[in-house]
Amino acid sequence: MRIENVYLESFSLASFRNLSELLLNVSNGVNIIVGPNGSGKTSILESISLLSPGKGLKAANFDDMCKYGEDSWETRFKLNSKLGAAEIITNFRMQEKSRKISYNGSKISSTELTNFLNVIWVTPQMEGIFSTSPSIRRRFLDRIVYNFDPQHAKRLSKYEHYVRERNKVLAQRGWESETSWLGVIEDKITEEAIAISNARQEAIDLMQKSINCLATDFPKANLKLSKLFSEQRDGLSTSDCYKEELLNSRAKDSYLGRASFGIHRSDFVVTHQVKQRLARLCSTGEQKALLISIILSSIDSILKSTNFVPILLLDELFVHLDEERREQLSEYITSTKLQTFITTTDIIGIEYLALKSNIIEL
Ligand SMILES: Nc1ncnc2c1ncn2[C@@H]1O[C@H](COP(=O)(O)OP(=O)(O)OP(=O)(O)O)[C@@H](O)[C@H]1O
Ligand SMILES: [Mg+2]
């Protein structure tokens, strides 16, 4: 399989966070962004993370990204995309709530971004991912799935739309009326849900294979998707079971005003392989190492099973890692040939990597 490199060539930011105007030419290999606290390193990564569906690596509101005192921001990226040379422009105006995205001059939706590139990130906030809510782990997994299935983002958005429709019908008309219309919506929900769940499971299977083969000092993890049903009834397909669950939960959902069952409640369950312990019960250092191990395996499986490689954003990743692990990670990053953006306040400790990198000083 021929791996196509996807990488940014240059970009400009205007009124984004603390950055009034910034124009950067970048390397298609490793880029290290160095600067003191508060200089804008994470903000640069955040602007790149917005080249994927959702609200970026801080899950922030677009309003908050507007430089204080301004009422709009804009980012322009020139890149070698999955579909060749491209310019992706995003702008946001306070009055308009949503961001506008264009690809080579044509308007696109954020879920379409995965047709052009993928971005994976690791931030210090993600180190606590195993102890937070399932929704954060689910989003983390879904971002990895985007790499394997460019339709995944679109499906999630359609799924959410149909679930909202069902909630609306249940709220306005009650669960005993409109049964045929509810049936139509639930069929659509089921179709998207099964495809989403299968895509998540396939990505997990590929990542698990990579984890089991990867030779690093990072602990191996066992990955699982939580069960959709407590038990699947004999003779019923997954899809029929799913529809039955939806049907059975109409009354409850009508009362609750939300969908109590579905793939929007799935959890990504991680266990420390050697210790046979749930990741959330591991120490802080073990959790960080497990997270890195999962990221490395996801990159490895993406490289093995897709034509395109993601862009990697690593915010302060090397902090608190011992020398051995820093070296292994540096070695791995340079060997993958992925375009990588690393932030640090100091090159000390990663001199080896810095020698092979483009240094961007803020
Ligand atoms: N909307 C905004 N307008 C102006 N400044 C902002 C805005 N949002 C955040 N900032 C400020 O921008 C600065 C840069 O933040 P950023 O997180 O990018 O810094 P950093 O270089 O990553 O720092 P650290 O090394 O501490 O992680 C901070 O001082 C932050 O308070
Ligand atoms: Mg930072």
Cβ–Cβ < 8 Å for 7, 13: no
User: pLDDT (tens digit, 9 = 90+) per residue, 188-213?
Assistant: 999 999 999 999 999 999 999 999 99
Question: pLDDT-based confidence at 31, cuts 50/70/90?
Answer: very high
Q: 160 CA distance to ligand 1 centroid (A)? A: 32
Q: 95 CA distance to ligand 2 centroid (A)? A: 28
C-alpha distances out from residue 62 to 74, 99, 198, Å: 11, 8, 32
Three-state SS at 216 = coil
**SS3 readout for 40-107:** CHHHHHHHHHCCCCCCCCCCCCCHHHECCCCCEEEEEEEEEECCEEEEEEEEEEHHHCCEEEEECCEE
Rg (CA), the chain: 22
pLDDT given at position 234: 75
Q: 318 CA distance to ligand 2 centroid (A)? A: 13
Average pLDDT over residues 7-13: 97
Best CA proximity match to 300, nearest among 221, 196, 212 = 212
User: pLDDT (tens digit, 9 = 90+) per residue, 109-121?
Assistant: 999 999 999 999 9
Task: Give the residue, out of 19, 42, 47, with the most ligand 1 atoms within 8 A of its beta carbon, to mutate for a pocket test.
Answer: 42
CATH 3.40.50.300: does it fit domain 1-118+309-362?
Answer: yes
pLDDT for 2 beyond 70: no
Q: Mutual orientation of helices 152-173 and 179-213 as an angle, nearest 10°?
A: 150
Q: What CA–CA distance (Å, rounded) separates 48 from 41? A: 11
Provide the CATH topology of domain 130-307.
Glutathione S-transferase Yfyf (Class Pi); Chain A, domain 2 (1.20.1050)
Relative to the alpha carbon of 35, which ligand is closest?
1
Relative to the alpha carbon of 44, which ligand is closest?
1
Binding residues: 35-42
Q: 17 CA distance to ligand 1 centroid (A)? A: 7
pLDDT given at position 323: 86
Whose tokens are 């139509």? That residue is 184
Q: What CA–CA distance (Å, rounded) separates 127 from 202? A: 24
Q: What CA–CA distance (Å, rounded) separates 163 from 150? A: 21
Relative to the alpha carbon of 314, which ligand is closest?
2
Q: Indicate which residue's Cα is closest to atom 29 of ligand 1.
A: 38
Q: Indicate which residue's Cα is closest to atom 18 of ligand 1.
A: 40
Q: Indicate which residue's Cα is closest to atom 30 of ligand 1.
A: 38
pLDDT given at position 3: 62
Q: Indicate which residue's Cα is closest to atom 5 of ligand 1.
A: 18
Q: 318 CA distance to ligand 1 centroid (A)? A: 20
pLDDT given at position 1: 54
Angle at 146 between CA 274 and CA 17, to 5 degrees: 100
Q: Is 231 exposed, middle or buried (0-12, 13-18, 19+ CB in 10 A)?
A: exposed
Q: 203 CA distance to ligand 2 centroid (A)? A: 30
Residues with CB under 6 Å of ligand 1 are: 17-18, 35, 37-43, 64, 66-68, 345
Residues β-bridged to residue 312: 120, 340
User: pLDDT (tens digit, 9 = 90+) per residue, 305-355?
Assistant: 888 889 999 999 988 788 888 888 898 888 888 999 999 999 988 898 999
Q: Name, of 63-77, 218-232, 347-361, the range with top average pLDDT.
A: 63-77
Q: Indicate which residue's Cα is closest to atom 28 of ligand 1.
A: 38
Relative to the alpha carbon of 16, which ligand is closest?
1
How do the domains of the chain map onto residue ranges? 1-118+309-362, 130-307
Binding residues for ATP: 35-42
Name residues whose C-beta falls within 8 Å of residue 88's C-beta, 6 or more positions apart in sequence: 51, 76, 77, 79, 81, 101, 102, 103, 113, 116
pLDDT given at position 321: 84
* pLDDT cut 90: percent of the chain above it: 80
pLDDT for 169 beyond 60: yes
Q: How far is CA 150 from the centre of its chain?
A: 12
